[in-house]
Amino acid sequence: MRTSVFVAVLGAAAIVTAMGAAAQQGGEIRTLPIRGNLHLIQGAGTNIVVSIGRDGVLMVDTGLPQMSDQVIAAVRRLQQDLDLRDQSIGFGAETRSSVATRHVQAPPKPIRYIINTHAHPETIGGNIKVRQSGRTFTGGNVAGNIADAGTGAAILAHENVAQLMSTPAAGEQRAPTDALPTDTYFNDVMKMSHFFNGEGVQLIHVPAAHTNGDSLVHFRGTDVIAAGDIYSTITYPVIDRQHGGTINGIVAGLNKILALSMAEFRTEGGTLVVPGRGRLSDSADVAYYRDMVTIIRDRVQAMIEKGMTLEQVRAARPTVDYDPRYGATTGPWTTDMFIEAVYVTLGGGKPAPARSR
């Protein structure tokens, strides 16, 4: 019942309408290795990054609610694969006994943490089921922080995500309690208090980008960045104006990714970047995308300064040289929608300020 209510809550968001029903159906789940303990789960409405190791499981986003069971099953398969890989043959006399050769393993540790990069259905839709399937760390100094800490995974996000989910805008409904973040941060950066599966994990807030609550997730040891919907390899960036998204925030977020990235050789290789949608990338891919977005922004800004209307800007086709790769005339996020979002968030259509005498 909670899940069905959650679907209704999320469906009220304006961005869901913009993205269209086709984008919300999910698809066939598949998993791909990224690097080290990190894996990519695709087909749940967004790219999900999972860290799977002896400390348990950390997930970046949870997918659409109707895909939760398949996502959890994919995580379980990855945990079983980890157990198989970790089996090793010992060389001491005590390891050659009939008991040792049975390879008796402790059961895989559960899902410990969920990180939400923002508050859209494809990123938080599976929060309830995924959280309830996990178990967070508890102890003498944290047991009182969460009423039912021992029965579910912790959910981390920027405080604007919690604000949007708990006190939504007019026409939207509050998300169920089990879906809300259990831990939030309000500064520019949040570092997890301990290594998880052998590496530090850092959340970096990018204000007013895709939404007003976007977080980049940087896995410091494997040098992988989960970018959320700030970056995509298949569409123009989606700008959720109703929830604080702006084109300048998108550009700032892409520049932040590049500032964190280290290329192996001439922008190729090195730091890997997981987009919200599309294929695994490196800093060269992100730089190309950043340049494209910046060029289009500057073109639209110049047209606004000339006093052009939105219709005139669309007719001028400021995206024409990038449309073959990123553009769309139909579907969940069209080129016209993108141009309008750029135009409005740059101040287009507003009267010019009065000149002083």
pLDDT number for residue 170 = 73
pLDDT number for residue 355 = 63
CB atoms within 10 A of CB 252: 16
Q: What is the pLDDT along the chain (357 residues), one digit of tens a residue?
A: 344 434 434 443 444 444 434 444 567 999 999 999 999 999 999 999 999 998 999 999 999 999 999 999 999 999 988 877 655 444 444 444 444 444 545 567 899 999 999 999 999 999 999 999 998 865 444 444 454 545 699 999 999 999 999 987 777 778 888 999 999 999 999 999 999 999 999 999 999 999 999 999 999 999 999 999 999 999 999 999 999 999 999 999 999 999 999 999 988 899 999 999 999 999 999 999 999 999 999 999 999 999 999 999 999 999 999 999 999 999 999 999 999 999 999 999 877 666 665
Spatial CB neighbours of 300, under 8 Å, sequence gap ≥ 6: 247, 313, 318, 339, 342, 343, 346, 348
The CATH H-level superfamily of 2-88+104-345 is: Ribonuclease Z/Hydroxyacylglutathione hydrolase-like (3.60.15.10)
Task: Judge whether 59 and 49 are in contact, CB under 8 Å.
Answer: yes
Q: In what order do the strands lie in the sheet with 48-53?
A: 30-35, 38-42, 48-53, 56-60, 111-115, 154-158, 183-185
Query: Residue 195: helix, strand or coil by DSSP?
Result: coil
* Residues 103, 89: Cα–Cα separation, whole Å: 9
Dump strand ranges (E) for the chain.
30-35, 38-42, 48-53, 56-60, 111-115, 154-158, 183-185, 189-191, 201-206, 214-219, 224-232, 272-277, 281-282
pTM > 0.75:
yes
Buried/exposed 199-220: b ≥16 CB within 10 Å, e otherwise: bebbbbbbbbbbbbbbbbbbbe
Bridge partners (DSSP) of residue 187 are none
The residue to which tokens 């494997």 are assigned: 222
Task: Judge whether 257 and 216 are in contact, CB under 8 Å.
Answer: yes
For strands 183-185 and 154-158, give the pairing: parallel
Query: Residue 2: helix, strand or coil by DSSP?
Result: helix
pLDDT number for residue 168 = 76
Spatial CB neighbours of 289, under 8 Å, sequence gap ≥ 6: 231, 232, 233, 254
Task: Judge whether 131 and 155 are in contact, CB under 8 Å.
Answer: yes
* Residues 238, 92: Cα–Cα separation, whole Å: 58
Task: Judge whether 230 and 237 are in contact, CB under 8 Å.
Answer: yes
Work out the end-to-end distance of the chain between its first and last CA atoms, rounded to an integer number of angstroms.
64
pLDDT number for residue 86 = 58
* Residues 118, 231: Cα–Cα separation, whole Å: 13
For strands 272-277 and 224-232, give the pairing: parallel
CA dihedral (163, 48, 134, 77) in degrees, to 10, reads 170
* Residues 157, 177: Cα–Cα separation, whole Å: 15
